[in-house]
């Protein structure tokens, strides 16, 4: 859109665009490099000066799903950290993300609604307590949790990671959803009560639909949190339950690091997050501004 009264000369505009393009390139370049590397053979990936034009190969993408025993493994019997058979890691990531998000959203939304509407005794203290669980840096609790998990048999299980991520994400879900519930006028729910609805029905037929935007925003943030989590996934999983971020970090090649393979996993790995952000972008923005004013 053109604004008449804001006078900017064409040169100024051009400079502005150039600056924006440069900044974007700086940010996007690693992603570009990653994607192109995933489409190169090992030799092409290492060629210097870098190849700008080459015949792309899907070899790397095929390789990551092909589970094979390497020659070294066959000879020595050691299990090498190879990113092959990656469908297992993607499956792990999906299961852990879905499970913990479903739990955090359901529990968090119900808790937030209760705090917002019924204000149980000590609500403010409880809300602060819930928030305070996020104040410790994760690394502080890493070692105790590692030992707990070993003792409890939760180490190297999907359910272990799901419970842990649920716990980490609940405070965020509760705080965010509460702020959305606080904004909607309680008269609307009272009207439903007079109209003959019981409390739980009011929650899902009247209150919840009014905070769908907030729900989408919370969902987006939580999914990204869990999908990208690295530290605890590294500590608490072994090969069977390993999530994608850990798998990427622990990938080796037979001879040196196989960058093409890693880039291919990474490329696949960012696709769900990109799709999600694209779908939820307007909600994520509203979620960040929290105080959304709604007309009722």
Per-position x/- string for 205-224, each x denoting binding to another protein as judged by CB under 8 A, each - no binding: -x--xx-x------------
> What are 256's two structure tokens?
């040196």
Least Å distance between CB 83 and another protein?
46
Distances (CA, A) of 216 to 26, 59, 182, 209, 224: 30, 37, 17, 11, 12
User: Using the rule CB under 8 A, which residue among 1, 74, 271, 296 binds another protein?
Assistant: 296
- Single out the segment in contact with another protein by CB under 8 A; choices: 21-29, 131-139, 173-181, 190-198: 190-198
User: Using the rule CB under 8 A, which residue among 144, 187, 278, 293 binds another protein?
Assistant: 187
Cβ proximity to another protein: between 214 and 245 the closer is: 214
> What are 291's two structure tokens?
């105080």
CB environment 256-280: b (16+ within 10 A), e (fewer):
eebbbbbbbbbbbbbebeeebeeeb
192 binds another protein (CB under 8 A): yes
In the block, tokens 């359910």 appear at 159
294 binds another protein (CB under 8 A): yes
DSSP letters for 78-116 = PPP----STHHHHHHHHHHHHHHHHHHHHHHHHHHHHHH
Cβ proximity to another protein: between 70 and 197 the closer is: 197
User: Using the rule CB under 8 A, which residue among 16, 185, 282, 285 binds another protein?
Assistant: 185
188 binds another protein (CB under 8 A): yes
Q: Are 52 and 36 in contact (CB under 8 A)?
A: no
- CA dist., res. 65 & res. 233, Å (int): 21
Per-position x/- string for 140-179, each x denoting binding to another protein as judged by CB under 8 A, each - no binding: ----------------------------------------
114 binds another protein (CB under 8 A): no
Least Å distance between CB 125 and another protein?
18
User: Using the rule CB under 8 A, which residue among 41, 57, 114, 197 binds another protein?
Assistant: 197
Distances (CA, A) of 99 to 103, 113, 133, 164, 210: 6, 21, 21, 11, 25
198 binds another protein (CB under 8 A): yes
Least Å distance between CB 276 and another protein?
24
Distances (CA, A) of 107 to 100, 112, 252, 269: 11, 8, 40, 28
User: Using the rule CB under 8 A, which residue among 20, 24, 106, 193 binds another protein?
Assistant: 193
User: Using the rule CB under 8 A, which residue among 55, 71, 124, 195 binds another protein?
Assistant: 195
Closest Cα partner for 225 from 143, 166, 288, 291? 166
Least Å distance between CB 292 and another protein?
13
Chain contacts with another protein (rule: CB under 8 A): 185, 187-188, 190-198, 206, 209-210, 212, 294-296
């Amino acid at each position: 859109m053109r604004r008449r009264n804001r006078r900017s000369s064409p040169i100024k505009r051009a400079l502005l665009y150039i600056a924006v393009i440069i900044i974007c390139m700086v940010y996007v370049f690693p992603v570009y490099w990653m994607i192109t590397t995933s489409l190169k053979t090992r030799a092409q990936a290492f060629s210097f000066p870098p190849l700008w034009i080459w015949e792309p190969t899907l070899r790397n993408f095929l390789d990551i799903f092909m589970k094979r025993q390497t020659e070294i493994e066959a000879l020595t019997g050691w299990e090498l950290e190879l990113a092959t058979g990656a469908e297992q890691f993607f499956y792990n990531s999906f299961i852990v993300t879905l499970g913990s998000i479903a739990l955090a959203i359901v529990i968090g939304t119900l808790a937030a609604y209760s705090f917002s509407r019924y204000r149980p005794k000590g609500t403010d203290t409880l809300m602060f307590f819930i928030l305070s669980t996020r104040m410790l840096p994760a690394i502080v609790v890493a070692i105790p949790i590692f030992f707990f998990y070993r003792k409890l048999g939760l180490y190297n299980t999907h359910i272990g990671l799901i419970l842990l991520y649920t716990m980490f994400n609940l405070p965020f879900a509760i705080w965010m959803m509460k702020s959305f519930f606080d904004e909607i006028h309680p008269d609307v729910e009272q009207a439903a009560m007079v109209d003959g609805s019981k409390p739980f029905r009011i929650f899902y037929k009247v209150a919840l639909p009014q905070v769908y935007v907030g729900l989408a925003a919370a969902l987006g943030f939580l999914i990204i949190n869990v999908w990208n989590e690295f530290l605890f996934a590294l500590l608490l999983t072994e090969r069977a339950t390993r999530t994608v971020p850990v798998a990427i970090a622990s990938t080796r090649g037979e001879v040196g690091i196989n960058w093409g393979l890693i880039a291919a996993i990474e490329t696949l790995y960012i696709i769900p997050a990109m799709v999600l952000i694209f779908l939820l972008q307007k909600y994520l923005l509203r979620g960040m501004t929290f105080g959304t004013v709604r007309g009722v």
